[in-house]
Amino acid sequence: VGHQKADWVSIHERICQLLIPIRTSLPFLLSEKERKHGAEQLVKRQKYIIHLAYSAAQEFVLGGKHKEAIPAALHALRFSTEVYGSNSVQLVPAYLLLAEASTGVGHLPEASKYLSQAQWIVLRTPDCSVAVQYKLHRSLGLLCAAEGNFEQALCHLANDIYLASSTFGLKSIETCGGYFHMANVFFRQNKMDIANSLYAEV
């Protein structure tokens, strides 16, 4: 019951009516053209649900409601898998959100599992965009910091900053997040001069 309530609050209420046409199978005696149109409509609906679920999960994470974000992020992942396949780079954003939400509620083993899955997909995708790669390194850095592995965290955050700045520029908002998280790690290490310098950069 607790899980159902969390799912309802998180995302199900928003997508409940949208699930009905998706879960309803097409009539058997349809022409090829009608079947093709039905399949296209199904994918369109699934992509819309992915967008809704991902946006809801992102909102919850940004609002610090990590527990509420998990069911929505799981729906985004489930439908992304149905639409794009289980090895598609399109799944990485949902995995990263799940990792961040899991870290936020203190479920570090689950976060590590989601990040491993995302990392595996990125490594198998030679033309993976830099936007996805820098976000992956940021998530890995945040997990390492949560685990108290500060040196590894700084290594991932340095990669995050390098990738983001090479694409968006040193003074971009995208790069700024990496500086901020790196400053937090130095702060936790009591290296206040470096931390303050990075906070000033942010």
Condensed to tens digits (0 to 9), the pLDDT of residues 105-148 reads 999 999 999 999 999 999 999 899 999 999 999 999 999 999 99
Query: In this predicted structure, what is the pLDDT of residue 39?
Result: 72
CA–CA separation, 116 vs 118, rounded Å?
5
Architecture per CATH, domain 129-201, reads as Alpha Horseshoe (1.25)
Query: In this predicted structure, what is the pLDDT of residue 46?
Result: 85
Identify how many contiguous H helices and E strands the chain contains and give both numbers.
10, 0
Condensed to tens digits (0 to 9), the pLDDT of residues 60-101 reads 999 999 998 998 899 899 999 999 999 999 999 999 999 999
- For the four alpha carbons of 134, 80, 113 and 146, in that order, the dihedral sign comes to positive
Q: Is residue 21 very low, low, confident or very high in pLDDT (cuts 50, 70, 90)?
A: low
129 three-class SS: coil
Mean pLDDT of the chain: 87
Average pLDDT over residues 1-29: 55
